[in-house]
Amino acid sequence: MGVEGIGASVARKEDKRFLTGKGRYTDDMSVPGMKYAFFVRSPHAHARIKSIDLSAASDMPGVIGILEGKQLQADAIGNIICGWMIHSKDGSPMKMGAWRPLAHETVRYVGDAVAIVVADSLGEARDAAEAVVVDYEVLPAVTEALQALEAGQPQLHPEAPNNLIFDWQIGDGAATDKAIGEAAHVTEITLRNNRLAPNPMEPRATLGIYDSAEDHYTCYTTSQNPHVARLVMSAFYNVAPENKLRVIAPDVGGGFGSKIYIYPEEIVCLWASKKTGVPVKWTCDRTEAFLTDAHGRDHVSTVKMAFDRDHRIIGLKVDTIANLGAYMSLFSSAVPTYLYATLLSGQYAIPAIHANVRTVYTNTVPVDAYRGAGRPEATYLLERTMETAARELGVSPAELRRKNFVRTFPYQTPVIMNYDAGDYEASLEAAMASADWNGFAARKAEAAGRGMKRGIGMSCYIEACGIAPSAAVGSLGAGVGLWESAEVRVNAVGTIEVMTGSHSHGQGHETTFAQLIADRFGIPIDNVNIVHGDTDKVQMGMGTYGSRSGAVGMSAVVKALDKVEAKAKKIAAHLMEADESDIVIENGELKVAGTDKTLPWFQVALAAYTAHNLPPGMEPGLKEGAFYDPSNFTFPAGCYICEVEVDPETGKTEIVQFVAADDFGNIINPMIVEGQVHGGIAQGVGQALLENVHYDPQNGQLITASYMDYAMPRADDLPSFKLSHQNTPCPSNPLGIKGCGEAGAIGSPPALMNAITDAIGNNDLTMPATPQKVWSALNAAN
């Protein structure tokens, strides 16, 4: 692999700028004449706007301009879109309600934007925003999905009676019902997947710059996919044609899904820059982020899992209600359908599966993909059900899982997915060995002696990553193809620039993508620059989410490298008067195999650009591009084991051990992959123990609108983690990569909940398992 090649834990090239305060995030950007924006937002969860009076605010000191929704509409700026069409089981299309970037008729959640104030300073903009008088007619609000479906509830959009967006199904209902009818045992459970706020540490920000001389727009933004942002803003929002719009996502401080979407603020700031004639910068504060960043999860599901006499699963029936908030965000329809129900087979051979999913409007901020996006919901549902079943059947949770594992590949599930490779037993064994599963009873007894209740739980997850084969997702309703592009530009001196459509916001692409080049050509990674995040520099890309940068983004780089290598070999063969097939590349040199003839890499590059002596008919230069469209999803899988101690007097849970055994396929940089797992587990632990978005059901006010009430995982909430890998290469992409970005967040919540319910002897416990809830559940059990 070489010290900087594939498989090496290379320290990150990008770290120095972050460590020395030289990172360049959107809010760090400053341009001449720049002014500051503050948004006037609805304080009500549901209200009709009777009038907006800007007069007092417009006279405030420092105010440049105040713009409202009517003007936006007059300028024909489009509605926010949802990019994935889902049809209900009756064949009708999903019911899209209009989402205006600035509401001018109805507001539907606390935080819905109504107007933008642009002023000399942020303080003045905020002062003036408080002086904007909006006369609201307050309407009743509903925040819970189950309730919103009931008769007589507040109606959010006229297009969607009873707030139902779609009623969708997958799988074979009749076969599943038959299996349940014939089962020796049926485990039934109702589970809630709690609503989360993604909380990347960098709040969203945008800087809109309109150049009247060129009639050109530049948008700096905190985006995971700047090209998609440009495409959507051009094609749907009518901000500017693509050739007149440059989108730059510079250093981005975490995303976790929440920075995929094109939010109202980006559109409005660009438009406001043209209207006011000044560059307009908006930076979200944390409370605003809680109010307006797309949330994640929020499902309620009932599950029936049917077993035969031999404890083999013969059927799985799931009914899910998903809260999508007040409007349909970009991927919101795909998350509780194709990213969720297609994973309901888990690691198990289940002959019959049926899932029904209803999605619902409520007076809450839109819900969309958050780390894992659908797959954590599927895994939580399956793995809590499996654990419950094992307890009901009186068998060990490991045995029940082993008995039902998929063991031959490829394996076609009844819910679309075709698993290509894996070894679930290997991860289970590794995790159990690492956790000293067999020594648990002794540890439990020792803890009991200290008055503590100790429990252990496992979770076997699978996810579909490498999103996604374009034709496949197109047939399922996606509005875009999910390929990736790359361009490899070899300079005349042999240094290399790689343009990628993937976007790094913590994942370390500047290092791992460079490792591919080091591995291929044997040149130092310092001679390689990875360029991303700027639509003027990179032709096109679909961005980073769904653990796709390795499997899809890197595969595109490999395709481009293949072309570069082939051309370089042709040039080298010509220069060394050898046969092209005899040229090998080693340690930065092109050699004629079996001879002592060599050419350094840079000389071949130079020859390509001097073009004095190229093979007949060859174009000068050494630069190649490629688009890679995957042929299948990838299927990372693994087994997580969590051990906890519960303090019965306070209900406080301490994680005493956390083991993760993952199969990510081939790994480019183990250090970075482990970092991804650590972070994912922490977010999963957050979901299981700490985090919960809570709206007041009476009035739709967001109660958890800051870190005072939304519990973020801190260092002392977590242990150090024990990781291992059992990798089976992915057969569908050239690097054999499966992806690692979301696994931790997917696999960990059920492991933790299974451990706590084991400790307290009560399975009736919802996430987050706060001390109060655990204490109550413990009392109920006694």
Partner 1 sequence: MAKVKMTVNGRQVGSDCEDRTLLVHFLRENLALTGTHVGCDTTQCGACVVHMDGRSVKSCTILAAQAAGSSITTIEGMAKDGELHPVQAAFKANHGLQCGFCTPGMVMTADDMIRRHGANLDEATVRAELDGNICRCTGYHNIVKSILAAAQEMRAVPQAAE
Partner 2 sequence: MYETNYHRASSVEDAVRLKSSAEEGKYLAGGMTLIATMKQRLAAPGDLVDIRHIAGLKFISVTGRSVRIGAATTHYDVASSPELKAICPAICDLAHHIGDPHVRHMGTIGGSVANNDPAADYPAALLALDAVIVTNQREIGAADFFTGLFETALEEGEMIVAIAFEAPERAAYAKFRNPASRYAMTGVFVARRDSGDVRVAVTGAGADGVFRHAGMEAALAQNWSPDALSGATTDPADLLSDLHASSEYRAQLVKVMAKRAVAAA
List residues near partner 2 by CB under 8 A: 123, 126-127, 649-652, 690, 694, 703-704, 707-712, 714, 770-772, 775-776
Question: In angstroms, what is the minimal distance from the CB of 510 to partner 1?
Answer: 11
Instruction: Decide if residue 33 touches partner 1 (CB under 8 A).
Output: no
Give yes or no for residue 720 binding partner 1 (CB under 8 A).
yes
Sign of CA dihedral 512, 515, 520, 521: positive
- Report how far residue 447's alpha carbon sits from residue 700's, in angstroms, rounded to the nearest whole number: 43
CB of 199 to partner 2, least distance (A): 12
Q: Which of 237, 361, 326 is nearest to 41 (CA)?
A: 326
Exactly one of 199, 337, 502, 687 binds partner 1 (CB under 8 A); which one?
199
Coarse DSSP helix, strand, coil percentages of the chain, rounded to the nearest 5 percent = 30, 25, 45
- Which residue type occupies 333? S
CA distance 116 to 362: 25
Query: What would you measure as the largest C-alpha separation in the chain, in angstroms?
Result: 87
Q: Figure out which of the listed residues 4, 25, 163, 757 binds partner 1, where binding follows CB under 8 A.
A: 25
CB atoms inside a 10 Å sphere around CB 671: 14
Q: Which does 254 bind (CB under 5 to 8 A by kind): partner 2, partner 1, none?
A: partner 1
For residue 615, give the nearest of 570, 566, 563 by alpha carbon.
570
CA angle 354, 359, 360 (to 5 degrees): 150
By C-beta, is 632 or 653 nearer to partner 2? Answer: 653
Residue type, 238: N
Q: Is 718 in the site for partner 1 (CB under 8 A)?
A: yes
- Contact residue for partner 1 among 23, 62, 477, 588 (CB under 8 A): 23
Binds partner 1 (CB under 8 A): choice among 43, 62, 254, 771: 254
Residue 704 CB, nearest distance to partner 2 (Å)?
7
Q: Which does 638 bind (CB under 5 to 8 A by kind): partner 1, partner 2, none?
A: none
Distance, CA of 191 to CA of 666 (rounded, Å): 35
- The DSSP output letter for 666 is S
Q: Among the candidate windows 640-648, 649-657, 703-711, 732-740, which touches partner 1 by CB under 8 A? A: 703-711
Q: Per CB under 8 A, which region of 26-34, 211-219, 395-403, 470-478 contacts partner 1?
A: 26-34
Q: How far is the CB of 368 from partner 1 (least distance, A)?
A: 17
Q: Is 123 in the site for partner 1 (CB under 8 A)?
A: yes
Told to check if 14 binds partner 1 by CB under 8 A, we report yes
Stretch binding partner 1 (CB under 8 A), from 14-22, 314-322, 323-331, 769-777 = 14-22
Q: Taking Cα atoms as reference points, which of 393, 413, 417 lies closest to residue 403?
A: 393
Q: Which is nearer to partner 1, 202 or 383 (CB)?
A: 202
Nearer to partner 1, 631 or 706 (CB): 706
Q: Where are the alpha helices (DSSP H) in 397-452?
A: 397-404, 424-434, 440-449
Cα dihedral 556, 560, 563, 565, rounded to 10, equals -110
Pick between residue 66 and residue 769 the one whose CB is nearest to partner 2. 769
For partner 2, the closer CB: 76 or 715? 715
User: Would you say 116 and 29 are in contact if contact means Cβ atoms under 8 Å apart?
Assistant: no
- 680 near partner 1 (CB under 8 A): yes
Which does residue 704 bind out of partner 2, partner 1, none, counting CB within 5 to 8 angstroms by kind?
Answer: partner 2
If one asks whether residue 715 binds partner 1 (CB under 8 A), the answer comes out as yes
CB 378 within 8 A of CB 341: yes
Site string for partner 1, 270-289 (x = CB under 8 A): ---------------xxx--
Q: Which residues of 539-566 are buried (b: 16+ CB within 10 A; e: fewer)?
A: ebbbbbbbbbbbbbbbbbbbbbbeebbe
Which residue has 């049917």 as its token pair?
Answer: 306
CA distance 711 to 620: 59
Tokens found for residue 56:
């007092």
Which residue from 85, 393, 540, 671 is in contact with partner 1, where contact means CB under 8 A?
671
Q: Which of partner 2, partner 1, none interacts with 89 (beta carbon under 5 to 8 A by kind)? A: none
In angstroms, what CA-CA distances link 350 with 127, 369, 636, 748, 780? 60, 27, 19, 23, 34
Three-class secondary structure of residue 503 per DSSP: coil
Helix (H, G, I), strand (E, B) or coil at 630: coil
Residue 252 in the binding site for partner 1 (CB under 8 A): yes
Nearer to partner 1, 494 or 508 (CB): 508
Which among 19-27, 293-301, 340-348, 750-758 is the span making contact with partner 1, rule CB under 8 A?
19-27
Q: Which does 772 bind (CB under 5 to 8 A by kind): partner 2, partner 1, none?
A: partner 2
Q: Using the rule CB under 8 A, which residue among 1, 3, 11, 493 binds partner 1?
A: 11
At closest approach, how far in Å is the CB of 772 from partner 2? Answer: 5
State the nearest-atom distance from the C-beta of 128 to partner 2, in Å.
12
**Under 8 Å CB-to-CB from 329, ≥6 apart: which residues?**
80, 82, 261, 294, 366, 367, 368
Residue 28 lies near partner 1 (rule: CB under 8 A): yes
**Number of CB atoms found within 10 A of residue 130's CB:** 13
Q: Binding partner of residue 750 among partner 1, partner 2, none, CB under 5 to 8 Å per kind?
A: none
CB of 243 to partner 1, least distance (A): 31
Distance of alpha carbon 670 from its chain centroid, rounded? 21
The minimum distance between CB 661 and partner 1, in angstroms, equals: 16
Token digits for 266?
């980006």
The answer to whether 706 contacts partner 1 (rule: CB under 8 A) is: yes
Minimum CB separation of residue 15 from partner 1 in Å reads 4
Of 273, 238, 235, 233, give the one whose Cα is nearest residue 249.
233
The Cα–Cα gap between 140 and 138 comes to: 7
Contact string (CB under 8 A) for partner 1, positions 504-533, x = contact:
-xxxx-------------------------
**Could you give the dihedral angle defined by the CA atoms of residues 160, 161, 164 and 166, in that order, rounded to the nearest 10 degrees?**
-60
3-state secondary structure of 200: coil
Minimum distance, C-beta of residue 509 to partner 1, in the bound complex (Å): 11
407 interacts with, out of partner 1, partner 2, none, CB within 5 to 8 A per kind:
none
Structural element, H or E, at residue 315: strand 313-325
Residue placing its CB nearer to partner 2 in the complex, 79 or 776: 776
What is the Cα–Cα distance from 379 to 54, expressed in whole angstroms? Answer: 50
**Number of Cβ within a 10 Å radius of residue 451:** 10
Q: State which residue, 21 or 439, has the beta carbon closest to partner 2.
A: 21
**Do strands 589-592 and 583-586 pair parallel, antiparallel, or not at all (unpaired)?**
antiparallel
Measured from the CB of residue 282, what is the shortest distance to partner 2 in angstroms?
18
The phi, psi pair for 318, rounded to 5°, reads -130, 135
CB of 337 to partner 1, least distance (A): 27
State in angstroms the smallest separation of the CB of 635 from partner 1: 23
CB closer to partner 2 out of 286 and 722 = 286
Q: Is there binding between residue 253 and partner 1 (CB under 8 A)? A: yes
Sign of the alpha-carbon torsion through 471, 238, 223, 17: positive
The entry of partner 2, partner 1, none near residue 744 (CB within 5 to 8 angstroms by kind) is partner 1
Site residues, partner 1 (CB under 8 A): 11-12, 14-25, 27-28, 30, 121, 123, 199-203, 251-254, 256, 285-287, 505-508, 671-672, 674-675, 678-683, 706-708, 712-716, 718, 720-721, 744
